[in-house]
Structure 1
Amino acid sequence: MAAKAPSASQRTQSSTLYIAVYLILVLLGNVGNTTVIGVVGESLLREPGVVRSSDIILVNMAFSNLMVSLARNSLLVISDMGMEVFLNKNWCRFMMGIWVWLRSANVWSTFFLSAFHFQTLRRVAPAVTNVHSHPGPPKSLIFGLCLIWSLNLIYSIPAFIFSKNGDENSTESLMLVSSTTRPLLGCIWSFPSAYSGLAFATSSMVIHETIPIFLMSVTNLGSLWTLYSHGQTRRAANKSPDAPVITRIPAERRAAKVILALNILFISSWGTSIISVNYFNYNRGSSAEFLLIVARIANITFIALSPIVLAVGHRRLRAFMKSILSRVAL
């Protein structure tokens, strides 16, 4: 491993404004997601007999956000600020695999929140807490989270194999939204052929961008429609007391709005990144470099801003933020 100063061309590619904006977003993401894990996780540990499945999913999503930010985005900031570190081949394969694994798991962890809320509403009268005789989270929830991390680890295997180390003059010839939008630590893709590389990039776009975004949209719209339907049923319950209704409609509506805001933020962030990266992959032109900068900003936007969205809709996070702001004001 060796540290080298960046070349003049590398320094000119990253403007001061871009570095400042990216640094702020990375810090916001690190602090925000750490806060979500600490506040929501603390409530789970403090009340072990009362398990809120939604809080477990929020902690998992925040954890995946934080790991992506620490393992990659923080290193990008350090690189932009003047320090370039070049790893050997084995370490590059390890880091590329980790980046693909974390980023892919992050996508599906975000979708899992929408899917869980939709399934909760489909049960008509969801239980908020677990039964005291069976402490701990539901087995189906644990199985779902384990499935997300294990399947995405399997998907990342090509990154552990088809990558290598470059040098300060290396340029990325293939971009993947789920891993890298430029060489970092000197690590670049090294597929046997251009065809196999584009095949992996295309499958990545379908599996980790197109499908999750489509499923997020469907499940969130399904949640909103279910709430609307039960709202109508609730009005009819005056005539038919035995009609099944969701007794926590106001709370579920707030949750649906928060999840909708997260989905819009995710889709806009990833959609921008997808367009930029695939323009680079398939139709490079004079705008390629600018679009890659846009992709870098878009990749961090959801991670940075999602804790703020959660703080608006989550009672404990909102109370914590109010407490912090009141102390600062004093």
Structure 2
Amino acid sequence: MATTAKPLTVSQRALSSPLYIAFYVILVLLGNLGNSLVIGVVGEGLLREPGVARSSDIILVNMALSNLMVSLTRNSLLVISDMGVQVFLNRNWCRFMMGIWVWVRSANVWSTFFLSAFHFQTLRRVAPPVSNVHGHPGPPRSLIFGLCLIWSLNLIYSIPAFIFSKNGDANSTETLMLVSSTTRPLLGCIWNFPSAYSGLAFATSSMILHESIPICLMSITNMGSLLALYAHGEARRAAKKSSDAPVVSRIPAERRAAKVILALNILFILSWGTSVISVNYFNYNRGSSTDWLLIAARIGNITFIALSPIVLAVGHRRLRAFLASILTHSIALCRHLWTYKLQK
């Protein structure tokens, strides 16, 4: 792998403006730090109480991990490229990186849907058990199986990306745009399918399997969750004086969780929609707005990763407590430094 300075193309000059780079760097850093914080705080709670299976926390850690992997393996490298440093990989490394990009992006989409599906299933059961009902501590086997299925199936799907990729050069352009992977060549890596039809088939299947279907399922399960909450709320009002209080007392907490998941779904759909519309318009209507479409697609791809930890912090008690503790200590430190400066 060699690092060389190459003349910037017209598109790269548009994407290298100081304002855009600063904004994109902030989003990438926010995504890296925020998702690392979710993994650390929520994961620490799971490790500290290994005998308790908080299925929702496990799913949150999985989603944050997939977000972080996408950001580290793709978006962080885009920052380096936008700053004018062109890194070109050899053929084997290009195959590896293209496969990784398809794998983690596809797994990220399905991991986000898994959160919505889990909450819908939770509402159907009204009061799910906190630990394994068979006396074996740990998360349910169905949950672990579902997460393993997401990562393994998407790894199998990404095999063509590992095979049909190659290294290009500074003048390489991308005529086939894969929604789930990339909006332009990165690190000198380009697609090398045997024919245009096979490449189009892979791109189309990527669009359907890892974009359209998860989005539709996410919308359906989220609507089902809202309807279930409405039905449970009606039952709660009708049973205030009955002996069912332990069951219906979960409804306010589940309503808060539903709002958080709804916000995540809306954020994901907006982020996805911006990227897909921009990329497809770029593919079929290249013109004077090309550079701005690439910027919109890039920002759309990072928006969900950057802002989802903030949404989670609003609805997750442990994250709120941790952030409040950091804020309190920071204010106390600033006051101490200010007092010391005045006394000095």
TM-score, normalised to structure 2, is 0.92
Instruction: Give the SS at the match of 1:102.
Output: helix
What is the aligned partner in structure 1 of residue 5 from structure 2?
A: 5
Further displaced range: 171-180 or 283-292: 283-292
Name the CA distance, whole Å, in 2 between partners of 1:17 and 1:235.
Answer: 53
Structure 1 residues 238 and 32, CA, compared in 2 at 3 Å: closer, same or farther?
closer
Q: CA deviation at 1:269?
A: 0.2
Alignment of 1:157-306 (within 5 A): 157-238=159-240, 241=243, 245-306=247-308
The verdict on how the C-alpha distance between 1:243 and 1:41 changes in structure 2, with shifts beyond 3 A counting, is closer
Deviation at 1:246, TM superposition (A): 3.6
Pick closer, same or farther for the CA change 1:304–1:243 going to 2, 3 Å: closer
Question: Do the aligned partners of 2:119 and 2:225 also contact (CA within 8 Å) in 1?
Answer: yes
Aligned counterparts, 1:30-109, within 5 A: 30-109=32-111
Query: Unaligned 5+ residue runs, structure 1?
Result: none
Q: CA deviation at 1:78?
A: 1.0
Alignment match, 1:317: 319
| Equivalent residue runs for 1:100-139 within 5 Å | 100-131=102-133, 133-139=135-141
Deviation at 1:210, TM superposition (A): 0.8
Deviation string 1:111-139 (CA, Å, 9 cap, x unpaired) is 00000000011112222343482111100
**1:101 maps to amino acid:** W
8 Å CA contact retained: 1:175, 1:280: no
- State the alpha-carbon separation in 2 of the partners of residues 241 and 39 from structure 1: 36
Letter in 2 for 1:113: L
Secondary structure class of the residue paired with 2:190:
strand
1:195 Cα deviation from its structure 2 partner? 2.2
Task: Specify the code of the residue in structure 2 equivalent to 1:13.
Answer: A
* 1:114/1:259 contact within 8 Å kept: yes
Post-superposition shift, 1:48?
0.7
The structural deviation recorded for 1:285 is 3.0
CA offset digits 1:160-208 (Å, max 9, x no partner): 1111101111111111121111111100111222222222212111111
SS of structure 2 residue aligned to 1:101: helix
- Residues 246 and 128 (structure 1), Cα distance of their counterparts in 2 relative to 1, 3 Å cut: farther
Unaligned 5+ segments in structure 2 are: 333-344
Separation (CA, whole Å) in 1 of partners of 2:8 and 2:226: 52
Alpha-carbon contact 2:131-2:139 (below 8 Å) kept? no
- Tell me the distance in 2 between the aligned counterparts of 1:188 and 1:310: 36
Q: Secondary structure at the match of 1:146?
A: helix
SS across alignment from 2:87? strand
Q: CA RMSD of the aligned region, Å? A: 1.7
How far does residue 240 in structure 1 lie from its aligned partner after superposition? 6.3
How many Å apart are 1:107 and its aligned residue? 0.3
- In structure 2, how many angstroms separate the alpha carbons of the residues matched to 1:189 and 1:217? 32
Helix, strand or coil at the partner of 1:170? coil
Comparing 3-12 and 319-328, the one that deviates more: 3-12
Matched pairs, number:
330
For 2:281 and 2:180, how far apart are their aligned partners in 1? 15
Partner secondary structure for residue 8 of structure 1 = coil
Q: CA deviation at 1:267?
A: 0.3
Aligned mates of 1:88, 1:16 — CA distance in 2:
30
> Structure 2: how far apart are the matches of 1:66 and 1:234?
39
Assess, with a 3 A threshold, how the Cα gap between structure 1 residues 24 and 239 changes in structure 2: closer, same or farther.
closer
The residue number in structure 1 matching 2:341 is none
Q: In structure 2, how many angstroms separate the alpha carbons of the residues matched to 1:301 and 1:132?
A: 41
Distance in 1 between residues matched to 2:111 and 2:248, nearest whole Å: 26
Greater shift after overlay, 205-214 or 282-291?
282-291
Is the deviation greater in 36-45 or in 226-235? Answer: 226-235
- With over 3 angstroms needed to count, the CA separation of the structure-2 counterparts of 1:266 and 1:324, relative to structure 1, is same
User: Aligned partners of 2:264 and 2:238: how far apart in 1?
Assistant: 32
Q: Quote the Cα distance in structure 1 between the aligned partners of 2:323 and 2:241.
A: 43
Percent same amino acid at aligned positions?
A: 82
Letter in 1 for 2:171: N
> Within 2, Cα distance between the matches of 1:8 and 1:77?
15
Q: Deviations over 1:244-302 (max 9, x none)?
A: 95430111011000000000100000011011111123333332321111000110000
Map of 1:308 onto structure 2: 310
Amino acid at match of 1:9: T
